[in-house]
Amino acid sequence: MKKLLLLSILNFSFLIFTCLAQQQNHFTHFTIDDGLSQSSVFSITQDDFGFMWFATEDGLNKFDGNRFTIYRPKQNDTTSLPDLGIRKIYKDKSGKLWVLTLRGKLCRYNPQKNNFTRYSFNTDKQNIAIKIITVAEDNLGNLWAVTTKGEFFNFDQKKNIFIYKSLMKILKNNFNQFTCNVY
């Protein structure tokens, strides 16, 4: 009987200790009343400075912990977002933020200037509209952009451009190294 009582006390103590040791998660729900530009959020990421970024149909929202800053396209300003609707925010391994619009345009956020660099995409095919559907990095840290037609573009950091890569050449040259972490 004493053993059973001691065992029960130990089990109960362990249960209480386990419950108290668990980390409590806290979530805050933001709405348009809090300054979010739109209630439907497609993508969320946190940058290396601690800012939270939210992709919406009504622009890109940056939250500093107290208030939202909303980025939208500005007419005749090539350093602003190219489109209003934002599909995805991707933080690469070096901490750069890439912004993909709902219309398939891609740009990079420049935190020092608080603006964006827009990127264009060209293939060997003439007069074909190119829409980027996703961005990802491979296990070597190479950034890739993929189109709705399955075309691959690799970011050349030295030239600051995306270069078209034939899928067959990619598979031939890098079959063992081509694995992507897609989020």
Convert the pLDDT of each residue in 26-83 to its tens digit: 778 888 999 999 999 999 999 999 999 999 999 999 999 999 999 999 999 999 999 9
> Which residue do the tokens 């972490």 mark?
181
Q: What pLDDT is recorded for position 30?
A: 87
pTM: 0.78
Handedness of CA 46, 52, 53, 56 (dihedral sign): positive
Structure tokens at 95: 């901490």
Sequence-separated contacts (24+) of 103-108 with Cβ below 8 Å: 103/131, 104/130, 104/131, 104/132, 104/133, 104/147, 104/148, 105/131, 105/132, 106/132, 106/135, 106/145, 106/162, 107/81, 107/82
Per mean pLDDT, which range of 8-22, 113-127, 142-156 is the poorest? 8-22
